[in-house]
Amino acid sequence: MRTHELVLRQVEADLAAGKLRLGDRLPGERALAGQLGVSRPSVREAIRVLEAMGVVRTAVGSGPDAGAVIVADPASPLTATLRLHLATSHLPMGDIVQTRVLLESWAVREAAGRAEPDQLAAAGALLDAMDDPELPRERFHLLDAEFHVALATLAGNVLVSTIMASLREAIHGYVMAAAPNLPDWPSAAAGLRAQHRAVLAAVTGGDGDTAAQLVAEHIEGFYRASRLA
């Protein structure tokens, strides 16, 4: 059994036993390594995988907010199996792109005119954060992936939301691989911002067909522009 599976099982067992709750902090690397009989680098890699799965959120440093905090219950068989598989697999970029087009175009069409105001506001807040001209490129792409997960969530389909959340790390990975191929990053970023705003505006305005067309063009256009197609 791989180390991240050991850590995941320990988290599930502690949650079931009431020893841990959502929002609690995992033991430190040294404590987990001793508890599980593995090395500290193995624990560090395990935490990285659990973060990719959406089970924990990490913060560096030594303050009260440092460490790995449990943000999702991994006990659901669907969530645990799907996120574990996608977080640890090397998926073909073309397959990820096609899956995104299918899921996101359907989701925005369904969500158009029906999404809750607080959901739309949350998606808009991600775009506002991406407007910062000093935003590091990697942070921009992380927010980009979060925005697309938020778009999929607007439709209210739990399975679609789970699949998109599980793909978050894979999406970020191929986008970061593509970024160096964009010759003019400021112009590319401005274009991505405008496309995101147009998709969200179409959803908010109830124009599902336009939203679906725009999000498909946005996803496929980036793939082509980055010369990964």
pLDDT, tens digit (0-9, with 9 covering 90-100), for 9-28: 777 777 767 787 777 888 88
pLDDT in tens, 91-142: 778 888 899 999 999 999 999 988 989 889 989 999 999 999 888 888 888 8
Sketch out the chain's domains with CATH numbers.
3-70 (1.10.10.10), 75-226 (1.20.120.530)
Looking at residue 108, its pLDDT comes to 97
pLDDT in tens, 150-184: 898 899 887 788 788 777 777 777 777 777 777 78
The pair phi, psi for residue 69, each rounded to 5°, is: -110, 135
- pTM (2 d.p.): 0.64
Give the DSSP per-residue string, 27-81: PPHHHHHHHHT--HHHHHHHHHHHHHTTSEEEE-SSSTT-EEEE-S-TTSHHHHH
